[in-house]
Amino acid sequence: MSTGINWAKYSSPQALYPLAGRLIPWFACVAVALMGVGLYMGFFVAPTDFQQGEAYRIIFVHVPAAWMSMFLYVVMAVWAGIGLGLNARPSFMMAQAIAPTGAMFTFLALLTGAMWGKPTWGAWWVWDARLTSELILLFQYAGVMLLRTSIDDVRRADRSSAVFALVGVVNVPIIYFSVQWWNTLHQGASVSMSTGSKMAATMLAAMLLMTLAFWMYSIAVILSRVRCIMVERESLPVWEEKPAAIQKIAEAR
């Protein structure tokens, strides 16, 4: 590499495993702290919405979950793409580690959306473009995970689920722009890169804090899962064991 940084050194499971282990507690602590502040802002500082009353407070969990569901899918597809391009096992492992958390946030986005839809629209579910494309995203996550478990050969499972994940990435912009492209019951974006925010400053702050909290939570959980995957898939030494512990294990034989 001409950059002078030995990237290969950090891309091996042996290097990633302890690094991830050291980072997890930090991300977890920041996630908990941000969630605490975000919930306080959302429930005690942000004002009542003049149209929707208190029902709008679902936004502080609904929008972050929906954003994470789309964002994690893109990150998963990027790792899948890197894995396919470089034939790199750790990249496939990252993609594998992201899928369950992404699926969970997709489910939560749909569920909290239903909880919001019932009091404001009078229906738990409508087949509008935003809701339908988000439901398809849930099926895509399920597909990526099922494809992996249905193929015994790990390398083939890696490649097949990576191709599936990459093809499905077209749905993400469809979800995002669905409220502009089609006449949906779902409201348009409250926060947009071109027009800024249409919300009260404290509402926006609470929503962004919760989004950041979910982000940190996702990183902690995904790093933790990728460590499990490394131990399960690579029958390599238990990297986190101290030499003394390995000595003890050897003596126990």
Partner 1 sequence: MQWDSASEFFAMGGYGVYVWTSYVVTALCMVWEVMALWRRRAAARAEHRAMLIGDTDETAA
Contacts to partner 1 by CB under 8 A = 43-45, 47-48, 53-55, 57-58, 61-62, 65, 100-101, 104, 107-108, 111-112, 115-116, 118-119, 217, 221, 224-225, 227-228, 231-232, 235, 237-238, 246, 249, 252-253
- Whose Cβ is closer to partner 1: residue 109's or residue 172's? 109
Residue 83: CB minimum distance to partner 1, A: 21
How far from 56 is each of 126, 224, 234, CA to CA, in Å? 19, 33, 47
Residue 195: CB minimum distance to partner 1, A: 27
Residue 104: CB minimum distance to partner 1, A: 6
d(CA 211, CA 1): 36
- Whose Cβ is closer to partner 1: residue 41's or residue 95's? 41
Residue 101: CB minimum distance to partner 1, A: 7
List the one residue out of 225, 232, 245, 249 whose CA is nearest residue 102.
225
- Whose Cβ is closer to partner 1: residue 173's or residue 241's? 241
What tokens appear for 18 in the block? 């302890």
d(CA 77, CA 92): 10
Contact 32, 212 (CB under 8 A): no
- Whose Cβ is closer to partner 1: residue 175's or residue 213's? 213
Helix (H) or strand (E) holding 190: none
